[in-house]
Structure 1
Amino acid sequence: MREYKNNFIKADALFAKTLLSLAVVYSASSLAVTPTVTLPKGTSLGSTSFFDGFSGNSSGVTYLLYLQKENGTSLKDSDGNNAAAFNSPNLDVTVAINQIDYKFEPNESGEIYGVSAFIPLVSLDASFGNTGPQLKDNGTELGDLTLSGYLQLPPSIKDGRPVFSHRIAVDVIVPTGGYDADKDFNQSNNYVTLIPNWSFTVLPAPRVEISGRINYLYNFENSEPAGSAPLTWNGGAVDNTQSGQAVYMNFATSYEIFPGLRAGLNGYYLKQLTDDKVNGDTLADSKEEVLGIGPGVFWSSKDQSTNVWVNTYSESMVENRFRNELKLQFRIAHKF
């Protein structure tokens, strides 16, 4: 069976998803804002696609490199309209992620335990036109470390070929990256996030595959909210914020054009379930939503030791975050 390496990589992962419900209040001498509360930048939104339910059946080390480019050209409010407070908002995010994955020897049942570590380098470049609020980015810094533990279940075999494979995992985003409390856009979330998830691949026909990954996000408190302007809440100081809980799914399907090369569609959908909180109070109308879909290709070397993915996405149904007209990702995995 061909070995397809899973990438637990948190690629979207490090894209700065921004600004849920930013309220701007002008006075004669100052600019006061509600704190920036966002879903974590360590999610794998769109970073996994074809053959996500497979991770290979041999032990050892695999190295993965992700290169990602995201350009947010409009900032949407809770109704999906352009946020009125901003003139020409733009957020460019460039990410390089190094992943080291290690799988232990299969047990007697064919189950394989594995661990992964993801280290991102993130470059942020924000601009907001000549008028209106001017938000600041933190330049180029390391992003948050993500640690993952997973269990790969043995594939189901029918008529001599695999027809289904799946994996369960728990990812932890640890706030180790660059964080400046005086900047609006940072590489680090400055809080811990737990992401239990389930990945699967179905092979309904010899040349067709359908894959998906379902994730649940639980975010802990941020005890030092960041912002370039003074942060206030109900007339007082801001002590902490907490991003709401969310679910999201990556999905993909491909067709084998010839051995080693596939093409298909890939996408993701995110829905925030609960509103964000400031000082324990609910921040109304702060839930994020986004749908991204686009074409992608997958290539595997003859010996299956090297795999390459190229994925593109265009976003719609965007609420309380930047909209990306085009999002690009290149990913390569090599098994040693």
Structure 2
Amino acid sequence: MRKLSHSLAVCALACLATTATAKEGADQYPNGAENWLAGALPPPGTYYLNYFGYYSGDLRNGDGKRVSGASAEAWFNAFRVVHVSGHRILGGNWGWYAILPVVSQKVSLGSTNTVAGLGDATFDPFVISWHTDNWHWATGMSINLPTGRYKEGDPTQSIGANYWSIEPLFAVSYLNKDGWELSAKFMYNIKSSNKDFRLAPGAEKMEYASGDEFHVDYLVGKRFGAWGVGLSGYYLTQINKDKLEGHTLAANPGVWSEGRRGQVFAIGPSVTYTNASGVHFIGQWQRETGVENRFGGDKLWFKAIMPL
């Protein structure tokens, strides 16, 4: 039992130092990615979306305090294709999308490593969207695949989470004639376990189970012709406690009763511009606050949406 407790204490820090972009901690979804028109899918057609950005943050423990010497920064670019068909289901348009992220990251946790490669891909084969005068909404089921680089026993060299997950989602947008927009995308991430977890390279494999998470992206904005300004961000809270070999993992080393759950709230300014060809450009900065058991810092985004 003492040996297991020691392993859990070491793991409480080690398992947190995964990536910091298209995945912060062990995220497979890039929190804050959906803002303007989050629930308003475009008319039937095929569209390309590009997400480019930078993230920098420090690791926070279960009390929200900075963990000395633990930090992460990354550049990322995610390629996304969305297809909306004319086929109707329950009165809405059926569609699908796929996302493939590429990441260059630097993570410090005792040692420091810089690596680059693919992140975990996402595919949603069944998205349905509806539209009324002011309201637009969509529902779907994302599937996150463990395609990203994963180094057993060394989270500083891992980009992928090394597990599958599914994510039911509901997105909604309200747009009125005065140019005001309220948008949100609600998601619940259900994860499988990582059965290749090691405390160090060459150590015995263990099963690590990250808890399910509820998270939401949001935007409040106002358009002035082709331009729009607003506030956007995200909120995430972990529902279940992390477990190692079936044992609850500590929020802080030595405090076993609390359990480890991550949480974060982010907010920042967002600007959008739509040109005469219908291409949407979005730029935003998001500052993370109230962070526990995750990296917390700043995220800068540039996003483009264009019809093909």
Indicate the TM-score class for this superposition, using the shorter chain for normalisation: 0.7 to 0.9
Of 309, 313, 321 in structure 1, the residue corresponding to residue 282 of structure 2 is 309
Distance 2:81 2:173 in 1: 22
Shift of 1:108: 7.9
More helix by share: 2
Partner of 2:62: 78
Partner of 1:149: 125
- Secondary structure of the 1:240 match is strand
Shift of 1:54: 0.8
Task: Look up the equivalent residue of 2:35 and give its one-letter code.
Answer: S
- Secondary structure of the 1:23 match is helix
1:164 aligns with 2:135: yes
Q: Is the 8 A contact 2:198 2:205 kept in 1?
A: no
Of 244, 250, 265 in structure 1, the residue corresponding to residue 217 of structure 2 is 250
- Secondary structure of the 1:117 match is strand
Unaligned 5+ runs, structure 2 = 1-6, 19-24, 252-259
> Residues 332 and 104 from structure 1, CA distance in 2 versus in 1: closer, same or farther, beyond 3 angstroms?
same
Distance 1:103 1:204 in 2: 23
Partner of 2:250: 284
Q: Is the 8 A contact 2:152 2:201 kept in 1?
A: no
Partner of 2:31: 45
Partner of 1:239: 206
Q: What do you get for the CA RMSD once the two structures are aligned?
A: 2.3
> Residues 108 and 116 from structure 1, CA distance in 2 versus in 1: closer, same or farther, beyond 3 angstroms?
closer
Q: Is the 8 A contact 2:42 2:84 kept in 1?
A: no
Shift of 1:153: 2.9
Unaligned 5+ runs, structure 1 = 1-20, 25-31, 129-133, 158-162, 232-236
Shift of 1:298: 1.2
Task: Look up the equivalent residue of 1:165 and give its one-letter code.
Answer: H
Task: Look up the equivalent residue of 1:178 and give its one-letter code.
Answer: R
* Residues 314-336 of structure 1: per-residue CA shift (max 9 Å, x gap): 11100011111x21011111101
- Secondary structure of the 2:155 match is coil
Map 1:1-336 onto structure 2 (within 5 A).
Answer: 23-24=9-10, 36=15, 40-58=26-44, 60-72=45-57, 74-83=58-67, 86-87=68-69, 89-107=70-88, 110-127=91-108, 134-137=110-113, 139-157=115-133, 163-185=134-156, 186-228=158-200, 237-257=204-224, 259-285=225-251, 286-304=260-278, 306-324=279-297, 326-336=298-308
More strand by share: 2
Distance 1:127 1:267 in 2: 26
- Secondary structure of the 2:127 match is strand
Q: Is the 8 A contact 1:184 1:228 kept in 2?
A: no
Shift of 1:239: 1.9
Task: Look up the equivalent residue of 1:244 and give its one-letter code.
Answer: G
* Residues 188-241 of structure 1: per-residue CA shift (max 9 Å, x gap): 11000111110000124521000001110111011101554676xxxxx55211
Q: Percent identity?
A: 23
Distance 1:243 1:33 in 2: 12
> Residues 196 and 98 from structure 1, CA distance in 2 versus in 1: closer, same or farther, beyond 3 angstroms?
same
Q: Is the 8 A contact 1:122 1:140 kept in 2?
A: yes
Greater than 6 Å deviation, 4+ residue runs: none
> Residues 179 and 109 from structure 1, CA distance in 2 versus in 1: closer, same or farther, beyond 3 angstroms?
closer
Task: Look up the equivalent residue of 2:146 and give its one-letter code.
Answer: P
Distance 1:33 1:47 in 2: 28
Shift of 1:181: 1.0
Aligned length, in residue pairs: 286
Q: Is the 8 A contact 2:120 2:160 kept in 1?
A: yes
Distance 2:174 2:207 in 1: 43
> Residues 33 and 290 from structure 1, CA distance in 2 versus in 1: closer, same or farther, beyond 3 angstroms?
closer
Q: TM-score, normalised by structure 2?
A: 0.86
Shift of 1:33: 7.2
Distance 1:273 1:317 in 2: 16
Q: TM-score, normalised by structure 1?
A: 0.79
Distance 2:289 2:165 in 1: 26
Distance 2:8 2:75 in 1: 24
- Secondary structure of the 2:267 match is strand
